[in-house]
Amino acid sequence: MHRLLLLIIPLLGFATISVSSAAQNQKEKTMPDNSPNKKFALVIHGGAGVVSRESIPEADAKLMQQDLNRALDAGYAVLSRGGPALEAVTAAIIVLEDSPWFNAGKGSVFNAEGGHELDASVMEGHTRRAGAVAGVTTVKNPILLARSVMEKSPHVMLAGEGAEKFADTQKDIERVDPKYFDTEKRWQQLQDAKAKEMAELTHTVQGTYFGTVGAVALDQQGHIAAGTSTGGMTNKKWSRVGDSPIIGAGTFATDKCGVSGTGWGEFYIRAVVAHDICARVEYRGDSLALAAEDVINKIVPEMGGDGGAIALDKDGNIAMPFNTGGMSRGWINPDGTRGTAIFRD
């Protein structure tokens, strides 16, 4: 029933605009932004990071790409039946959150206290609506809670216990025992980080963020949405907030451009990465590829940070730059061609 409504609403919107445009006799001029363009595309990431081909066994890489493909399928199913970009982004990210291979939902890294604090955000371009949560501990799919903040609260961002209390008011948000997020691999990474911290007397922050997930979609109505979800940094302290739940830094979308970032969050916040990529496209007329390339491969490294991003524009152009050893990623172009990759292939 809900799905049906979602399908009908854009059609109604289209009908209304079509009539009023016809009345003004400016059909060609006023139509493009709202007409179904039938062109749709999807790009996802499972995180950029300091990884080498040798550090990931081939069997693991295969399983990772299998889950990237399942996420692409989930998002593509929505887009191909004419569903909204927001729905496609959510569907793709849920698959990646539920997969233990990525640092989001199940498989999230451990913080310094041996727990998990999850961050997520989502934004819908044409309405500029957005929702975000930081530091949630019992929500199975933080991307869904971020979407609920957007759709069912007067706020954009909720943090920590407050976000949990808001989740208590949302019947459709699945809750889990925090142990659900545990995986042996992440526990070992925490022990390694703590040992390194003891040895170097310094708090480890770099290179442990491989695994953040995100998606950007363009739907048949020409609308763009973007979302990001993460467990943050291994051994993080003091309820550190990274870029993933920050609109403008880790996630941003307009009706022309959408971005999801994955990298050393502190630099992504300072560089306002996601908004900066879209601002270069909008204000300077840079191509999406150039804008994404400049921000990820010039601005961020010049500041001392690293990472990657996925970006998509209204024509379905896709950019996936990264300045790290790898970035797990998947894409379906407007012509239907698709792929997944982890390294610079």
Distance of closest approach, residue 109 Cβ to a second copy, in angstroms: 15
Can you say how many angstroms the Cα of residue 166 is from the centroid of all Cα atoms in its chain?
A: 22
Window of 40-48, 63-71, 128-136, 320-328 that interacts with a second copy by CB under 8 A: 128-136
Point out which residues pair with 175 in neighbouring strands: 139
CB atoms inside a 10 Å sphere around CB 98: 17
Q: Does residue 269 bind a second copy (CB under 8 A)?
A: yes
- What stretches of 30-128 adopt beta strand conformation (E)? 41-49, 118-124
Judged by CB under 8 A, does residue 261 bind a second copy?
Answer: no
User: From residue 29, how far is each of 24, 33, 127, 221, 223 by CA, in Å?
Assistant: 10, 9, 21, 17, 18
Answer yes or no whether residue 249 interacts with a second copy by CB under 8 A: yes
- 126 contact partners, CB below 8 Å, separation of at least 6: 223, 224, 254, 255
Applying CB under 8 A, among 42, 48, 86, 157 the residue interacting with a second copy is: 157
- Burial grade of 319 (CB within 10 A; 0-12, 13-18, 19 or more): buried
In the complex, minimum distance from the CB of residue 39 to a second copy, in angstroms, rounded to a whole number: 26
State the Cα–Cα distance between residues 295 and 261, nearest whole angstrom: 11
Within 57-86, the residues that bind a second copy by CB under 8 A are none
Q: Is 223 in the site for a second copy (CB under 8 A)?
A: no
User: Which residue carries 């409504």 as its tokens?
Assistant: 5
Measured CA to CA, the distance from residue 86 to residue 79 in angstroms comes to: 10
Report yes or no: 223 and 84 within 8 Å, Cβ to Cβ: yes
User: Whose CA is closest to 125, among 225, 222, 33?
Assistant: 225
Q: Does 106 bind a second copy (CB under 8 A)?
A: no
Least distance from C-beta 155 to a second copy, angstroms?
A: 5
212 is catalytic: yes
Query: Does 156 participate in binding a second copy (rule CB under 8 A)?
Result: yes
Query: Considering the rule CB under 8 A, would residue 309 count as an interface residue with a second copy?
Result: no
If DSSP codes are grouped into helix, strand and coil, which group holds residue 136?
Answer: strand
CB of 166 to a second copy, least distance (A): 4
Closest CA to 247 of 317, 111, 138, 146: 146
Among candidate residues 212, 230, 234, 340, the one labeled active-site is 212
Kindly determine how many residues on this chain lie close enough to bind a second copy according to the rule CB under 8 A: 45
Q: In this chain, which stretch among 102-110, 163-171, 178-186, 334-342 interacts with a second copy, using CB under 8 A? A: 163-171
What are the tokens at 344?
């610079």
Strands across the sheet containing 318-319: 251-253, 257-263, 307-313, 318-319
Q: Which is nearer to a second copy, 74 or 292 (CB)?
A: 292
- CA pair distance 92, 220, nearest whole angstrom: 17
Min CB(263)–a second copy separation in Å: 13
The single residue among 161, 195, 298, 315 that binds a second copy, judged by CB under 8 A, is 161
Task: Indicate whether 55 belongs to the interface with a second copy (CB under 8 A).
Answer: no
Which member of 36, 82, 162, 334 binds a second copy (CB under 8 A)?
Answer: 162
Q: Which stretch binds a second copy (CB under 8 A): 15-23, 45-53, 273-281, 323-331?
A: 273-281
Q: How far is the CB of 207 from a second copy (least distance, A)?
A: 13
Q: Which residues are catalytic?
A: 212
Contacting residues toward a second copy, per CB under 8 A: 123, 128-130, 134-135, 153-163, 165-166, 203, 205, 237-242, 246-249, 252, 265-266, 269-272, 275-276, 279-280, 283-284, 303
